[in-house]
Amino acid sequence: MTRFHTLALVLIVCSARATQSLAQADSACTEAINRTKAIDVAAGFDSSKQLVPLSRLLSCGRSGTAAAAIAFGRSRLSRDTVWLTRVADFATMDASLFLNPLLEVAADRNASEEARVVAMLMLMRLEYDRRITIRDITGGFVDSYPAHGCLGRVSAESRNRVVLSASDKARIRETAKGVRADVKAPINVQTAAACLVG
């Protein structure tokens, strides 16, 4: 067998293994996307069992982000801020897929307080490109201003590099104004909305 034949054989084996690896990655993505899209908080679910499929979505591109956006919308009744934040963090990968679910959950009076606050938290992170925390945007008011100053406690920039259009920012402001005007909304939701209005 010549060097050429040996090299050709090695290339064929490597190509076959690469094809097999790609097929396995596609299969893992498909499974993770399907599991994430099927989440139904109203029917009850254990978020700790969903974190692994959720983390697999990171390698699934735009389809993975779209699945996370669907999961966030379906998680509007959840009170698990760890789960909600991990799902909402996918918005930094493609804000265009997440904007509608974030706005819908923020405005939904039937959504949990936690889901509404996390939605507004993520909208602020997208707009200001900073690692704002839940504590920064909740806690009620002092002299009619948010108690924790919204952006005042920000310690590090996240470098999301998300660019929102002027119309996206206007939609965010309008939603926040509507939520802020709702006197029946929980105080943390009102505080988050006040921070988002600016």
Residue 113 has pLDDT above 70, yes or no: yes
113 to 106, 109, 134, 186, 190: CA distances (angstroms): 9, 9, 12, 7, 10
Residue 51 — pLDDT band, cuts 50, 70, 90?
Answer: confident
Average pLDDT over residues 81-95: 92
Q: What whole-number distance in Å separates Cα of residue 16 and Cα of residue 99? A: 40
Q: Are 144 and 131 in contact (CB under 8 A)?
A: no
- Could you tell me the pLDDT band of residue 19, with boundaries at 50, 70 and 90? very low
Using a cut of 0.85, tell me whether the model's pTM lies above it: no
Rounded distance between C-alpha atoms, residue 190 and residue 61, angstroms:
34
Find out whether 188 and 113 touch, Cβ atoms under 8 Å. Answer: yes
Distance CA(148)–CA(144), nearest Å, equals 12
As a whole number, mean pLDDT of residues 112-128 equals 93
> Three-state SS for 130?
strand
Mean pLDDT over 47-65 rounds to: 85
pLDDT digits (tens, 9 = 90+) for 142-180: 888 888 878 754 455 555 567 789 999 999 999 999 999
Q: Which residues have CB under 8 Å from 178's CB, separation 6+?
A: 107
Q: Average pLDDT, whole number, for the chain?
A: 83
Burial 108-128 (b: 16+ CB within 10 A, else e): beebbebbbbbbbbbbbbbbb
Task: Assess whether pLDDT exceeds 90 at residue 7.
Answer: no
Q: Compute the distance between CA of residue 167 and CA of residue 148 in angstroms, rounded to an integer.
A: 28
Is the confidence at residue 132, as pLDDT, over 50?
yes
- Residues with Cβ within 8 Å of 113's Cβ and at least 6 positions away in sequence, in order, are 79, 186, 188, 189
pLDDT at 23 over 90: no
What is residue 24's predicted lDDT score, i.e. its pLDDT? 43
Cβ–Cβ < 8 Å for 84, 78:
yes
